[in-house]
Structure 1
Amino acid sequence: MRRIAILCVGNDCPGLNAAIRATVVKSNMEDLEVVGVKDGFEGLLRDQLDVLTRNSVSGILHRGGTILGTSLYIPESDEEVNKVVEKVKQYSITCLLILGGRIGTRAALRLMKANVPSILIPATIDNDLPFTDFSIGFFTAVSHVTDALDMLHSTAEAHHRVMIVETMGRPSGWIATVGGLAGGADYVITNAEGFKAEDLLAKIRSRYEGHKRFSIVVVEDGLKLDQKFYEEVGVTQETPPAKVIGMYIQKALKDINIEWRYTSLGYLQRGGSPVSMDRIIATMMATRAVEMVKAARVYHAVGMRGFTVTEVPYSESMLNLKIVDEYLRNLAKLFY
């Protein structure tokens, strides 16, 4: 019997359990055995593997995180890769099913050079992999940002404040742009376009003069700011860029007495129950991956093009960064 080893590599995201569940159920139908690897490649090297059955994955569809755990570790040196090769032989693994983002992609490409068969399922809230329109976890992260902006809107309006909301997703800009668009942000700042200070100040001033005495500004984490902005507000580069922008707004618009507050959404974006679209694309891609193992079509990534599952042969171009579409950036600007 052929055996699939499924493991999560890199950061967690909502929808991983949906993919694990679909892998096990589909494999059961195709007469394939599935072993779950605890904590990614660290667990593989520590012999932490368990056979997964339908009972093992019953009731996990709605759960966030991953029942298998995950790890940021990947084999990179020849010695580390050789250890993985030995474990694959030891457990008679036909194919690794890797759930992950850029870290998982690096692992899959590195192991291909050592002839370790794998299939990659894109799972990252950043949605920055070029071979797929959507990655598992992205829709839930955007939903969390949208919900946060909805809640912050009322208090921003009540106190006439500028709310600076920091999101994850750097440097691709997907979460900030799409979350900001869905949540009615008054301005979005991402690494894709950089910080345009005069434009932001003009937008906020215009809103105040139009009796909209509050603004919601979404800022992607890790934004690169010119040194002059840190010097202008008298802080070091250790200060989060989103906070620097808030300080800069207050100083530049002191004539209208701007008050601001900062909220970092942080790991809230990775947590919680996956929304329906993440469950669906996870199920679609995982079941296709099992079909590919059955047909011995390995060294491929699955992905989504619209609502269709695709298969992409491994190549170094899979590590290219997918920046948020210019169309979506311009669409968000319609509402500034």
Structure 2
Amino acid sequence: MPKKGNRKRLKFKAGDVCSESVTVADYADADPALVKSGRLKKAVANAVEKEVQLLRGLEASQGAVEEVLSSAASANADALDSSDEPDPDEEGGGEVKVACKKKNKRRKESTENSIGEDYPVDIWLMLSSYIRPEDVCKFALICRHAWTVTCTAAFWTRLYRRHYRVDVELPCHLKPRSIDRMRCLRASVIRSLFHLYEPFSSRVSNIPALPESTPTTMLNSKCLLFWVKKVSGTRQEPLWEFYFKLMKPQGHSKNGCAKSLRSPKQYEDVHLNPDSDCYVLQVTTLNFIFIHVVMGMTLAQFKINVSTDMRHHRVRLLFQDSPLHRGKKRADLGGTQVVLDPVHSVKLMDWWHPQYPSLPHT
């Protein structure tokens, strides 16, 4: 084995090429102190390959040249893998590692900063004028500036004016003179789109009045408000509508992702929506039924079955003081029971539904 510091460089002339010119020993005897794992460095491998290229025209040594070329190519590939790695046996190897890490970090940061373009908010606000209502979420997910635009009052005001039609009858709280205010602007515009925008209004008509999963999803909902309204029936007989404003239980809200992103402080009033996690259960009966006050209580049971006259429905609601914890069975603690019979219709409405009552007296 050669001493440390001695570099072996393979040099030979064209007339000396034979099967013994380049052997395995030339690679095995390479100084491991110079190259990691005893491999030839990139410069030595390139020198071998360059000299072999000069010998490709010799016919007598064609077989030896091909052998040398294959050996040099494999050595060159190994050298490429190991040339940038510092030798742990050399002094200052730790410093080389730190320097390489810092260099790679700077290269990565420069690469990340060079990808894409940063456009001002004004351009995103201009582009938002061409966004369809159903694509607002996709537009807000493009970048932070696009999301900031969807938080502004100008975005929601333009969206409302773009789809407003005079021939459509709107509730008083959704008319243009009421949309001018900043408070709850986003919620008001979304509600108005279910009256003005055809794709949204047709979507509501396809929603069943009472989905099949309602009895399960309504459990543990808290009753925030309760009121009764008298309406005229089709046979000149009055009907009574019982409204239960319920708050969705934790874990069933669809606004979890939206809540994780807090809107800018100057636009908090725009995104304010007290009914964001609420829905209203409307039960229409043929006559007035006296029930106990259930505000502040939790819905523990909801059942719909056939009425005693076999022509209508019967609704049974059970309210309790405390909610049911997940994974535990509810003990029979009684509670307040509400029985509505006979029932003409049952409807469950989210806060954006066109028939969602905004105030108890409406």
Give the TM-score, by structure 1 length.
Answer: 0.25
Give the TM-score, by structure 2 length.
Answer: 0.23
Q: Which has the higher contact order (CA 8 A, sep 6+)?
A: 1
Which structure is larger by alpha-carbon Rg, 1 or 2? 2
